[in-house]
Amino acid sequence: MTDTIGSTGVRPAHLTRTAAIETVAQAATLLLANGQTTERTIVAGEWLANALGISVTIHPRWGELAVHVDGAPFADIVGAQPLGVDMGRVLAVMTIVDQVCDGMLLPASAAPALAAAARQPSASMPRFVLFAALGAASLGVIFGALDVASLLLIAVSATLGALVRRWLAARFVNPFVQPFCAAGIAGLVGAAAVRLDVPDPQQLIALCACMVLVPGPHILNGAIDLARTRVALGIARLTYAGLIVLMICTGLLLGLVAGDAPLPAAAPSVPVPFGADVVAAGCAVAAFGTFFSMPWRLLPVPIAVGMLAHAARWALISLAGAHVAIGALVACILVGIIITPLADRLHLPFAALGFSAVVSMMPGLFLFRAAGALVSLVSSGDHAALDLLMSAVTNGMTAFLIVLAMTFGLILPRLLLERVQAHV
C-alpha cells in the first residue's frame, strides 16, 4: 500500500507512506549517531512524523533504531550506533525537522536535505590540531603546569596525537584505535619528559594530552538514559565510554613502558591564579567545542558558560575550602541550569554542549593516577607498598565521586525542566 500524505498549507502530497517512514528513520538515525540525547532524538523524530502525516513510536537501541508505525504490524529497523559527536550535523538535522514542521521545506525535499547534512564535514584538520594543542596545554595550566617548557611538551604531544587521530579516522572504522594510539604518543612524550628531567610536574606532561580524549558526552548520555530507565541503552553507552577510557589508560601505560619510564609520581597540587584558571578553562571549552564540530558562531556560548562555572568552582575550592567533588557539583548544576534551555533553543545536543562547558573539571588526572598505581601494585607483587594501594583507592574514589557529581549536576536541571515542560 502506498498511501500518500495529504497536503497541509502549501505542501503538496509528494511522499508515500513508506518514504515518510524512511525519512523519519533517516533523521532519527543521524541524531542518535551524532550525539543527540535519546529523548530529543525520539521527540524530533515524532515531530517530523506528524508533519509528514503519520504517527510513529521510535525505539532506539544500541546498534539499531526501530520506527513503529502506530496501527501497523510492522516497523522500519535501521542500523544506528551512537559512536560519534558532531554538533554541526545535529544542528543541521534539527533545522531540517523544524523547517518541515513549519512548512518552510517540502516533505519531498527532506530526505535529500538530510543526506546533505550527513555529509557535512567535521572541523577542518588545521582547526582540530590547533585546538587539540590549545586544549591540552590549557588543562595543563588548570592542573598546575605553569612552566613554558612543560606546556610546549604538552602541546606537542596533543598535536601529534590529533594528527594521528585524523589519519586513523580516515582508514579504520574501529573507534578504539584512535584514543589508544593518541594515548600511546602521550606516553612516549611523557617518558621523554622524564628522561629530560623537566622541572615542572612530569605527570601532567604525560596525562594532559590524554585528558582531551575522555569521552564525556557518552558518559552523560548514558547517565541520562539510565535516569530515564532506558537501562539497556544506558549501560551500552557507559560500557562504550568505559572501553574508550580503558584504551586511553592502556595506550598511555604502554607508551611509558616503550619509553622505559614509569608513570611519574604525583606531585603536590600547585595553586593556580584565578585569572589563569578561568582563561585556561575558556580555552579548554573552545577545544572541545572544536572536537565536537561546533559552528564558530556558537562557540562563544559554551566558552562563556564554562568560564563562569570554573570561576564558581575556583572560589568554592580555593576560598571556601570545599572538596573538588563539591566544587564540581555546584559548578555543573550552574551549567545545567544555563545550558538546558540553550541546547533546545540552539538545537544542539545537550550532552556535548554541557560537557564542553565543564570539560576542565573531568577527573582524568585522578583516573590515570589510579590506573598507574594499580599497574605498579600488580608489578610489585608481594613486595608492593601500602602507599600504592592507598593511592589507587584514593584517586579512583575521587575520580568516581567527581564524575558522579558532574553527571548529577548536569542532568538534574535537564530532567527537571523536561518534567515541567511535560506538565505545561
Task: Provide the residue ranges of all domains of the chain, joining segments of one domain with +.
Answer: 17-118, 125-422
pLDDT band at 268 (very low <50, low <70, confident <90, very high): low
**Residue scoring higher pLDDT (124 or 194):** 124
Least confident of 134-148, 218-232, 256-270, 352-366: 256-270
DSSP class of residue 77 equals E
Highest mean pLDDT among 142-146, 245-249, 260-264: 245-249
Sequence-distant contacts of 363-367: CB under 8 A, at least 24 apart: 363/324, 363/398, 363/399, 363/402, 363/403, 364/207, 364/210, 364/211, 364/214, 365/143, 365/203, 365/204, 365/207, 365/211, 366/395, 366/396, 366/398, 366/399, 366/402, 367/245, 367/249, 367/395, 367/396, 367/399
- Region 255-270: mean pLDDT is 72
pLDDT band at 200 (very low <50, low <70, confident <90, very high): low
Q: Is the pLDDT of residue 265 over 60?
A: no
pLDDT band at 12 (very low <50, low <70, confident <90, very high): very low
Q: What pLDDT sits at residue 395? A: 83
pLDDT band at 179 (very low <50, low <70, confident <90, very high): very high
Q: What pLDDT sits at residue 232? A: 93
pLDDT band at 340 (very low <50, low <70, confident <90, very high): confident
Report the predicted TM-score, pTM, of the whole model to 2 decimal places.
0.85
Q: What pLDDT sits at residue 8? A: 40
Length of the chain: 424
What phi and psi values does residue 71 have, to the nearest 5 degrees? 85, 0
